[in-house]
C-alpha cells in the first residue's frame, strides 16, 4: 500500500483479524460519579497485556512482515508504551526485537520492556533515532515506527471498530492525540461505521501542536522542550505524522486541549469511578469531557489509552 | 422454584438473559508479573457500575418480581456491595428500594448507596436484620437476600457462564466465598459447561468457616467477632447459606484459605499487573494462586469480585 494514501475501513478490518488472540477486545466501562451520574464511558485500553493500545499497531505491523524480513527481526526506539508493545508483539510472533532506549529513561521502564525478551540498547537521548536506523542497516531488522505508518494506523484503528460495535447509543468519541496513530485510525473507523458520531481529538495544552494549527489547516511542529512540560509523558511527540495529519483532517471534527490539573483530576476520577488505573496520558481524553471542554452528550466514549502510571503519582492521586 | 432444590444451568442462562443490558459482561484480563509471566487471568467484576458482582444477583432477583410486588418495592440490609447492588438494580427497574444500614457504617458507604436514589434507614448494627423484616412487613416490600436465595445464586452464576465462553483454555477457576452466592452459582455453571475444569473456593483464613468443615462435610458457623478480624470486609459472613452449602458440596472441588498478608499483596499485584482496582475481598481468589496455596495451571481464572476499596488503603498499597 502506498504510504501517502488514506486507509479504508477494509484495512482496519484486516488488522482486526490479525491482532485477534494477541490483543484484548477491551471493555467499555461506565465512569460513575459520586452523585450516581455517568457522564461518559471509557474504552479500557489500559487492560491490554502491555497496559496500552500501542500493542494493536505493533502487532499488526509485525504480522504483516514478509518471511524473509521476519528472520531478521524488528527494531524500534522508545522508552514508553511503544517499546513494550513491539517487544511483546515480537515475542508472540516468535521473532527477535531490539529496542533502543535513551539512557536517561528510568530503570522501571527498561525492565518493563526487557521482561518480554527484547534486546535493549541504551544510547544518549539525542542518538536514539540514528541508533535504531543504524541497527536496522547493519542487521536487516525492520523498523516498527510508533505512529506514522499505515500498518500502525490500521492496527490502532481497531479501537474504533470495537467501540462502534460495543456502544449502540454512541454519539461522541474522544481520543488522545500525540503522533496521531490512535486518533487517525479510530476516527477513520468511527466515521466509516457511524458517520453521525462526532470525533474529537484531545491534547494536553502544554503539547498542543495539533490544536494550534487545526483551525487554519496548518500542521505545526513544536520544540521537544515545549512538549516535555506536560505530565502526560505518552503525548510529548512534537507533531503528528504526515500520514496521520491527512487522516485527522479527513475524519476528525475538532481538536481541544486540557490543562495539567484537568489531566490529573481525570486520572483520579477514573480510579474512583471505574476501578481502572490510567496513566496521565491515558486520562487526557476523559479530561476533556470531565472539565467541560467538550459538550456533554449521553453517548460519549473516551479512549483510556494506557495505564502505565508511576506508582508514586498513583498513590498521591488516589489518597483521600 | 422450591428453594431447597439445586439450580440447573437453564436457571443461570435465564438469569443471563435478564441481566443483559444492566450488568456488564466483564473482561477476563491477564495478570502480568514483573518477569513477564502470566500466572493467572482475572474476571474483572470490579468494572460493574456498582463496582462488584453483587449487581448480577440483585438484578436477577428484582427482574423476577411479580408486578404486584414491584409496586411495593424492595428492602435489604447491608452496608456493602449488596446495598449498592440492590439500590442500583431497583433504580434501573424503576422501583423503590429501602436499604437498612448499620449506624456504625462509614459515611462514604452510605453515600455510595444513597446516590442511586434508595431510601436509607440507619439502625444499631444488631437491629439491622429485624429492621429490614419490619419494613417488609409494614410496607409489603420484598426482601432481596444477599446470597441464600435461588434467584441470587442464578444471577451470580452468570459469571461462570461468561468465563466458560471467554476462556477456551480454561482449566481452573478460583472464586471467593463468604455467604456463597457467587461461589455456588459460578461452580454450578462451570461444572455444567466444562466438567473437567477444577473449581476452588477461597476464604480468608480469619473467616475460614467453610474451609474448617469442608473435609468432614460439616457446615460451620463462626462468631461474627471471629470473621470481623479479616480486612476482606466483603467476606465476613459467619457461614455459607444452606442452599449455597448444597451447591458448593455438589460442584466445588476444594476450599483453601489465604492470610491477610497474602490478600494485601495480591491487591497490589492486581493494580500493577492488570491496571485493575480490587478491594481486599476482591483479591482473595487471586491471592490463593499468587501465594502458592493452589497449584499453578496455565488456564487459571480467578474472580476479581469487587473494587470498592478504601482510598487510604489503596494509596498505601500502590506506593512504591
Q: What is the mean pLDDT of chain B?
A: 95
B37 with B124, same domain: the answer is no
> End of a domain among B143, B175, B205?
B143
Do residues A216 and A128 both lie within one domain? Answer: no
Q: Tell me the Ramachandran region of residue A218: left when phi exceeds 0, alpha when psi lies from -120 to 50, beta otherwise.
A: beta
3-state secondary structure of B161: helix
Residues A91 and A199 in one domain: no
Tell me, yes or no, whether B24 and B80 share the same domain: no
The verdict on B13 and B92 lying in the same domain is no
Instruction: For residue B20, give every residue at least 6 positions away whose Cβ sits within 8 Å of its Cβ, in sequence order, or none.
Output: none
Are residues B304 and B248 part of one domain? yes
Higher confidence at residue A111 or residue A29?
Answer: A29
Are both A310 and A236 inside the same structural domain? yes
Residues of B forming the active site: 54, 79
> Are residues A308 and A285 located together in one domain of the fold?
yes
**Which pLDDT belongs to residue A109?**
83
User: Are A68 and A27 within one domain?
Assistant: no
**What three-state secondary structure class fits A207?**
helix
CB pairs < 8 Å spanning A and B: 89
By C-alpha distance, which of A260, A255, A249 is closest to A284? Answer: A260
CA dist B72 and B68 (Å) reads: 7
The whole-angstrom separation of Cα B266 and Cα B158 is 25
Residue where a domain terminates, one of A104, A123, A143: A143
**pLDDT (0 to 100) of residue A87:** 97
pTM of the model: 0.95
Looking at the structure, tell me whether residues A86 and A192 fall in a common domain. Answer: no
Is A318 close to B319, i.e. CB distance below 8 A? no
For chain A, the domain total comes to 2
Mean pLDDT of B55-65: 98
Give residue B102's pLDDT band: very low, low, confident or very high (50, 70, 90).
Answer: confident
Q: Which of B275, B276, B318 to mutate to test the interface with A (most CBs of A within 10 A)?
A: B275
* A116, A117, A122, A128: CA torsion to nearest 10: -70
CA distance B14 to A315: 42
Please indicate if any CB of chain A lies within 8 Å of the CB of B200: no
Using DSSP's 3-state secondary structure scheme, residue B306 falls into strand
Judge: A315–B311 Cβ closer than 8 Å, yes or no.
Answer: no
Establish if A165 touches chain B: CB-CB under 8 angstroms: no
Q: CB–CB of A274 and B47 under 8 A?
A: yes
Q: B126: domain CATH number?
A: 3.40.50.1100
Kindly report the backbone phi and psi dihedral angles of residue B196, in degrees, each rounded to the nearest multiple of 5, phi listed first: -80, -15
Same domain, B99 and B247: no
Closest to A49 (Cα-Cα) out of B38, B25, B307: B38
pLDDT value at residue A2: 46
Print the domain residue range for A65: 55-143
Same domain, A185 and A46: yes
Q: What is the ipTM of this complex?
A: 0.94
For residue A88, the chain B residue with the least C-alpha distance is B36
Query: Residues with Cβ < 8 Å from A134, sequence gap 6 or more?
Result: none
Q: Do B36 and A316 touch (CB under 8 A)?
A: no
Q: Is B307 near chain A, with CB under 8 Å?
A: yes
Q: A268 and chain B: CB distance < 8 Å anywhere?
A: no
Give the domain-ending residue among B125, B143, B161. B143
**Cross-strand bridge partners of residue B97:** B74
Point out the least confidently predicted range of A53-57, B10-14, B125-129, B168-172.
B125-129
Alpha helix (H) residue ranges in chain B: 9-19, 54-63, 67-70, 81-93, 107-114, 128-139, 150-156, 158-166, 181-193, 209-214, 224-227, 242-251, 260-274, 280-290, 311-318
Mark whether A54 is an active-site residue.
yes
Phi and psi torsions of B124, nearest 5°: -60, 145
Amino acid at each position: 500500500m502506498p504510504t501517502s494514501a488514506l486507509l479504508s475501513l477494509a484495512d482496519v478490518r484486516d488488522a482486526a483479524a490479525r491482532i485477534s488472540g494477541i490483543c484484548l477486545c477491551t471493555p467499555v466501562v461506565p465512569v460513575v460519579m459520586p452523585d450516581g451520574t455517568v457522564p461518559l464511558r471509557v474504552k479500557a485500553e489500559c487492560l491490554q497485556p502491555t497496559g496500552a493500545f500501542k500493542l494493536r499497531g505493533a502487532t499488526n505491523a509485525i504480522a504483516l512482515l514478509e518471511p524473509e524480513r521476519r528472520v531478521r527481526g524488528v527494531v524500534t526506539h522508545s522508552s514508553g508504551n511503544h517499546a513494550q508493545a513491539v517487544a511483546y508483539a515480537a515475542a508472540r510472533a516468535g521473532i527477535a526485537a531490539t529496542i533502543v532506549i535513551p539512557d536517561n529513561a528510568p530503570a522501571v521502564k527498561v525492565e518493563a520492556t526487557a521482561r518480554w525478551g527484547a534486546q535493549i540498547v541504551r544510547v544518549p537521548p539525542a542518538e536514539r533515532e540514528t541508533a535504531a536506523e543504524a541497527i536496522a542497516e547493519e542487521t536487516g531488522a525492520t523498523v516498527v515506527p510508533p505512529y506514522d505508518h499505515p500498518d500502525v494506523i490500521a492496527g490502532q484503528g481497531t479501537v474504533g471498530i470495537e467501540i462502534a460495535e460495543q456502544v449502540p447509543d454512541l454519539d461522541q468519541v474522544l481520543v488522545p492525540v500525540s503522533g496521531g496513530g490512535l486518533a487517525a485510525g479510530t476516527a477513520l473507523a468511527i466515521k466509516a461505521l457511524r458517520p453521525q458520531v462526532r470525533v474529537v481529538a484531545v491534547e494536553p495544552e502544554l503539547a498542543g501542536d495539533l490544536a494550534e494549527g487545526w483551525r487554519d489547516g496548518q500542521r505545526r511542529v513544536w520544540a521537544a522542550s515545549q512538549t516535555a512540560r506536560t505530565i502526560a509523558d505518552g503525548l510529548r511527540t512534537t507533531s503528528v505524522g504526515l500520514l496521520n495529519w491527512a487522516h485527522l483532517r479527513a475524519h476528525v471534527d475538532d481538536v481541544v486541549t486540557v490543562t495539567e490539573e484537568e489531566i490529573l483530576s481525570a486520572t483520579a476520577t477514573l480510579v474512583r469511578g471505574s476501578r481502572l488505573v490510567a496513566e496521565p496520558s491515558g486520562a487526557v481524553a476523559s479530561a476533556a469531557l470531565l472539565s467541560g471542554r467538550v459538550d456533554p452528550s449521553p453517548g460519549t466514549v473516551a479512549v483510556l489509552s494506557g495505564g502505565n502510571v508511576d506508582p508514586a503519582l498513583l498513590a498521591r492521586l488516589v489518597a483521600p
